[in-house]
Copies of this chain bind each other. A is one copy, B any other.
């Protein structure tokens, strides 16, 4: 019964049985079915399978610019339609030199009248400029009844690190003139989640008051290929597929030679003690599951009030592929909403 000797049995003797050590093991090819434990909308999204050309990365700055602007044009039109459908107004303005979009739902809920949510969009520090970055902010404004300010920060290749974080901090400083910190929540997904974490770290360094609560969704907390799920969910995550290729390319063009393990680029390496209440989100097949739980674990060890949800069957930020009434998307926004409502001062 070698199985029992090495698994159930070794629950008790494993530490004493030191076997030869390997650095890796091979996972055989296997089929991953569309789960029957998720909504039909998510099933349909997963059933599209892996994108075939996930690793066709632009070769130079001009290639990135073209790809970004083509996608931004198409996405912006969808964003306008979504805003109309959700009945959220979009107002563009300038805050100390940084372009922001103020998103106002038809009804700001009474308990949110003195609160503001800052939104930091995703897109790997290169994609979703302008209105193209507003999907998440619009959904939160509509589903939560919040006024949301979304930051249209500068991006690579034209503006590598630290331009994005400089812009985010500029906007944070500006809204602090209008709202007490404990009434401000900050949220964002992927790159927006990583920047949310980096914003808190930098606010502390600069002596600014910290926001009342933050919700980094599946944050890009480690720009290097470090962390278990970069490997275990490789080829499983239908959104990102793998670090090798696109993510790697974007990390390089953003870091632009800067140390990728600097906590301002990879906040998992920062001192996460003293953070405000934090809600982290991931999915079972998310390439960034480890990016999420490493932050959560480190926060909990530091005594932070850090909450985690992991959504069944979801790839990286997979809710953004779903219609706005899909159960997984509603679950996510309900959780965000309850979280901010609990922790932000009225």
> Which A residues are within 8 Å of any B CB, using their own CB?
1-4, 6-15, 18-19, 21-38, 41, 44-45, 47-56, 67, 70-71, 74-75, 78-79, 82, 123-124, 127-128, 132, 135, 226-229, 231-236, 238-240, 246, 282, 284-285, 289-290, 293-294, 296-297, 300-301, 307-313, 317, 320-323, 326, 331, 334-335
Contacts and interface: CB of A to CB of B under 8 A. Distances in A.
A284 to B, nearest CB: 5
B70 A36 contact: no
B8 A285 contact: no
A4 B71 contact: yes
A226 B335 CA distance: 25
A312 B284 contact: no
Given A4-B67, A15-B323, A308-B309, 16 more contacts: A4-B70, A4-B71, A7-B54, A9-B75, A11-B135, A12-B82, A15-B41, A24-B34, A25-B50, A28-B235, A30-B234, A37-B294, A228-B312, A232-B284, A289-B310, A293-B310
B23 A135 contact: no
Given A22-B34, A50-B25, A236 B232 contact: yes
A235 B29 CA distance: 9
13 contacts: A1-B70, A6-B48, A11-B75, A13-B75, A14-B320, A23-B34, A32-B232, A37-B226, A37-B228, A38-B228, A232-B284, A297-B309, A300-B331
B8 A127 contact: yes
Given A19-B48, A313-B228, A331 B78 contact: no
Contacts of A1: 53, 56, 67, 70-71
B6 A228 contact: no
A328 to B, nearest CB: 9
Contacts of A38: 228
A70 B28 CA distance: 31
A341 to B, nearest CB: 13
- Per assembly, the copies of the chain total 2
Closest 9 CB pairs of A and B: A14-B321, A6-B51, A21-B47, A11-B320, A24-B33, A12-B78, A15-B323, A25-B49, A2-B53
A172 to B, nearest CB: 25
A9 B74 contact: yes
A14 B45 contact: yes
B32 A29 contact: no
A170 to B, nearest CB: 26
Contacts of A7: 51, 54, 239-240
Contacts of A294: 37, 312
B11 A284 contact: no
Contacts of A52: 2, 6
